[in-house]
Amino acid sequence: MTASFHRLAILVSCMGAVFPARADEISVAVAANFTAPMQKIAADFEKASGHKVQLIFGSTGKFYAQIKAGAPFLLLLAADDETPARLLREGEGVPGSSFTYAIGKLVLWSPKPGYVDDAGAVLRSGRFERLSMANPRLAPYGLAASETLKALGLSDALQARIVMGESITQAFQFVASGNAELGFVAYSQVHKDGQRIEGSYWLVPSRHYTPIRQDAVILKKGQGVPAVEALAAYLRSRSAVTVIRSYGYEI
């Protein structure tokens, strides 16, 4: 992190707001699992700063491909730490601008109360036809789900029952709509306004999968844009951290 970027982060943390000389409108690519908290954070940031934020939600893998193809994103909030690092290595990101904004958690969830036990034993029970998860090639939460099944020795046994979404949002929708009885989703998705939604879930022990460190990076097109730097700093402010934690993320 550059010295100037560090100073800006401290300023935002102390003041809780950024007051720009002029307002900008910026396009931000956001990992699907971070939809709800980012909508709240962006709204608060717009009120505090006067800047406008256009949020585009999707899978990190697809965002990478779009950025490489010239998509006009100025800031990326990925669902992993490898994609921002890769973009930096390839000259698509601003050196020194990346940071971890959240650490995600994986859960096995069903909208049916009492359906998923607190040890995940339902996976071995055979009492379901479909298990939803995100594509591990596109979504870090899908990779975490794949690693979990492998750690439990269930990859082969459950392969025929898996329905795969392009993003963690689609994986969640498969379960919410009843197209799958249960699924691996982000812990943040089983919360609404910081409160747990209906259903039952198993918080998957972190030992079963690679830590989901979610990093942000300012992209080449966003270099020197005040609103981008301000939003990146605001993500580490006390106000934003409170929102992030309310959705079950670690910091």
Looking up residue 116, the CATH number of its domain turns out to be 3.40.190.10
The one-letter amino acid at 173: Q
- The pLDDT, as a whole number, for residue 193 is 62
Using the structure block, give the residue that is written with the tokens 């950024």. 18
What ranges in the chain are assigned the alpha helix state H? Answer: 3-15, 35-49, 60-68, 82-89, 122-125, 140-151, 155-158, 168-176, 226-234, 238-246
In a domain, 17, yes or no: yes
In a domain, 229, yes or no: yes
Residues 234 and 187 in one domain: no
Residues 181 and 134 in one domain: yes
Q: What is the 3-state secondary structure (H, E, C) of 19-81?
A: CCCCCCEEEEEEEHHHHHHHHHHHHHHHHHHCCEEEEEEECHHHHHHHHHCCCCCCEEECCCC
In a domain, 251, yes or no: no
Residues 155 and 237 in one domain: no
In a domain, 113, yes or no: yes
Residues 60 and 30 in one domain: yes
Total-model pTM:
0.81
- The pLDDT, as a whole number, for residue 134 is 96
Residues 217 and 130 in one domain: no
Residues 140 and 50 in one domain: no
Residues 74 and 63 in one domain: yes
Q: CB under 8 Å to 178, separation ≥6 — which residues? A: none
**Which helix (H) or strand (E) is 202 found in, with range?**
strand 200-203
* Three-state secondary structure call for residue 130: coil
Residues 198 and 122 in one domain: yes
Residues 115 and 98 in one domain: no
In a domain, 161, yes or no: yes
- The pLDDT, as a whole number, for residue 19 is 46
Q: CB under 8 Å to 10, separation ≥6 — which residues? A: none
- The pLDDT, as a whole number, for residue 197 is 74
In a domain, 208, yes or no: no
Total number of domains in the chain: 2
In a domain, 78, yes or no: yes
Q: Cβ-count burial of 244 within 10 angstroms (0-12 exposed, 13-18 middle, 19+ buried)?
A: buried
Each residue's pLDDT, cut to its tens digit, for the chain (251 residues) gives 444 444 444 444 434 444 445 678 999 999 999 999 999 999 999 999 999 999 999 999 999 999 999 999 999 999 999 999 999 999 999 999 999 999 999 999 999 999 999 999 999 998 899 999 999 998 999 999 999 999 999 999 999 999 999 999 999 999 999 999 999 999 989 876 666 778 999 999 999 999 999 999 999 999 999 999 999 999 999 999 999 999 989 98
Domain that holds residue 54: 3-103+213-246
